[in-house]
Each structure stands twice: as structure tokens, then as C-alpha cells.
Amino acid sequence: MWRNCVRLAKGLGRSAVLRPDPKVSRCGVVRGLSPTAPCSPTAPCSLLWNSVTWLSQARQSKDYALPNSSWSQGMMDLYNRFLEMCKDGTWKRIPSYGNSVDHIPESLKLAPEKEQKETRLFSRNMDTEGLGFEYAMFLNPSEKRMVCLFQPGPYLEGHTGFAHGGSTATIIDSTIGGCAIFVAGRVMTANLSINYRNPIPLGSVVLVDSKVDQVEGRKVFLSCQVRSIDGQTLHAEATALFIQLNSTKSLQQQMSSQ
């Protein structure tokens, strides 16, 4: 099974591996990343690596991207394979929290964000493990690529026995968005176009594989494929445009002026 997954990765033409410079990884980290800094496809590794650290530097909340008893053997096997690849720094596991605020470092939070307590991140809003979105993301910094191991639970149903198209859109948006965050800091979806090829059975495990295609100023163009873990079934393909946010403007202002 894993061989097929690797074949899928190679098939996507993303075989180059570049380990981040350990000196860079120890520098300013979040403080070194300006949320208003322009991004470019030739962004230095320091910027990229700082973004990675940002993704994993939230306050101590429950990390939902860790195995639980609802995960199938296929999900566990894939997760352990990626963990193995994290050891040499090629991949990095991305934690996931139940609230949007928990993903933002204290130094970059706006006042209203600190006050939100009763909200939940959409993809982590279920109290019972296994019913909704079960997923874990891994980032490959050198390839500007984010993968998500996704096991849709029974509360994500659309057609009988299959994941709702909206739940597929959600996990794609989240994965591809994580990839955009990596190169551009705080971002927002401007366009998401999904071709649904084969429905995803509830309880199955799929690999959501996204990458940055191009960066133009504040625009980040990305693409994504959702495949079965044996690589044989293409469930969905997507393209997306994300806009880098300037924290001094409101979200509405920024999206209106794009």
C-alpha cells in the first residue's frame, strides 16, 4: 500500500527533497515572519521555515491530529509512514486544534480574536472521535506541499454511504489553505474549484495532496488531488487561489480590494 502511495507522490513530480537549514530554524521564528511581507516563489528558506514553525507554535491546546481509537488500520499505517519520514526533516507533522484562535501565535492575534471562546473550527467541531473529520496533515517545506490523511466519519454523509461534497470541499480547503499559509502567512480563500471524480466512501482513508503552483504578489495559486491510499482511485482534483492578508485591514476590506 505504501509503495503505491510513494508511486503517487512520484507521479505528481514532487521528488526533490531539501532539508531546512537548522540555523534558520532556530532564528526569530514567528517574530521573523511579517504577516504583511510579500511572498514570492523564490522566497528564502528562512521565510518558509518560519511559516512552518508558526503553524506549530500555538498555545497548548488539545492536538486533534494525533491517533485515536476511531482511526482505521489503514489510517494508522499511513500516519506512521509519514511520521517515519519526519525523522530526517523532509516532512513535518502539523498539529490541529479545535479553535481557529489556537492556530495563531499570541503576538499576531487581534483583540477580537482573543475574546472568541464559544466557537469551534469547522473541521474540528465534533466532540466524539470518529464521527466527523478525522485527519492529520504533513508538510514538505522544500516541495511547498501539504498532504492530509483523511478518514471521513459517518456524520459527513451526502449520498448514502459517501462523504458529502461539502465535506470534501472542506478538507481540500483546509489542506490547500495550510499549504498557502506556509508560503504567505495569513491567507484567505479567493477561489476554490473542485472536480469530483469518484465519491469517497465513509470510513475509507484518502490522501489529500496539495502543492503551491505559483505565487504572484499576494496571490498564491495551488492545486490538489484526492486519491485512495493505493493511488488507484482519483476522488477529486482542485485548484485554488488564496490571498495573503494584511493584518492591518479587516478581512472584508482585503477581499473587496483583491
Binding residues vs a second copy (CB under 8 A):
99-101, 104, 110, 112-113, 116, 118-123, 125-126, 131-132, 154-167, 169-174, 177, 188-199, 202, 251-252, 255-256
> Between residues 19 and 197, which has the closer beta carbon with respect to a second copy?
197
Shortest reach from residue 40's CB to a second copy, in Å = 23
Alpha-carbon distance values, 149 to 58, 109, 237, 243 (Å): 21, 29, 16, 25
Which position among 21, 77, 102, 173 bears the catalytic label?
173
Q: Is 209 a catalytic residue?
A: no
Rounded to a whole number of angstroms, the minimum distance from the CB of residue 234 to a second copy is 9
Residue nearer to a second copy on the CB measure, 39 or 240: 240
- 80, 89, 93, 160, 198 from 85: Cα distances, Å: 9, 7, 10, 36, 29
The residue among 15 and 125 lying less far from a second copy, judged by its C-beta, is 125
The cell for 155 is: 456524520
Closest CA to 153 of 136, 174, 165, 167: 167
Closer to a second copy at the Cβ: 193 or 214? 193
Evaluated on CA atoms 152, 156, 162, 165, the torsion sign reads negative
Residue 208: count other Cβ atoms within 10 Å of its Cβ. 24
CB of 125 to a second copy, least distance (A): 4
Name the region of 125 (left: φ>0; alpha: ψ -120 to 50; beta: rest).
alpha
Q: Output the nine-digit C-alpha cell for 95.
A: 498539529
CB of 236 to a second copy, least distance (A): 10
Active-site amino acid positions:
173
